[in-house]
Structure 1
Amino acid sequence: MLFTPDAYGDLYARLSVPVLVLYDQDAFTSFERLPELLGRPGVQAVRIEGTDGLPQFDRPGEVKAALDRFWSEAETR
C-alpha cells in the first residue's frame, strides 16, 4: 500500500501519531508532497544523504541519532 497513486491522501495524511520521515533521493519514491506533510503537527523530516532510500542500511548511526532526537522531543511534548 505504500506505492499507491495517492499515498499522501490515502495513508500519510490520516496519521495522528508523531511522524519522522527519514529520506534521501529514491528512484521509486517521490517526496514532492513532503512540505505539505511537514505542515501537519507532530511531523518532522530528516534527510540522510547518500542513502538512496535505505538509510537504515547505509547510515545506521545517523538513523539512530535522528530517531533518538525525535523520540526525546516527543517525550517532552
Structure 2
Amino acid sequence: MNQKLKAIKQTAQHKTWVSFLNNNHPYSLLHWSIGGAESVQKDVWLLQDEMTFKAQEFTTIDLAIDWIGENMDGITDVL
C-alpha cells in the first residue's frame, strides 16, 4: 500500500493531478490553484470522486495522502 501512496503523491506532484482506483471506484487527486467561473484563487489539493464529482479539500498534498492512506484500503491502479 505504501508504494501505491508514494506513486499517487509523486505523480500528482509531477503532473499536478493523478487518477487512481479504490475498490474499482475512480478518484482523482489534483492541485487547484485557479478555478471556477470567477477564477477563484486557491492553493489546495482536491480529492474528487469521479462518479459523483464530490470533492474534499486539503491544504497540503501530505494531508491528502495521509487521508487516503487512512480511509482507502483498496487502491489497485494509479493512472
TM category, shorter: under 0.3
- More helix per residue: 1 or 2? 1
Q: Which structure is richer in relative contact order (CA contacts within 8 A, separation 6 or more)?
A: 2
TM-score, length-scaled by structure 1: 0.28
TM-score, length-scaled by structure 2: 0.28
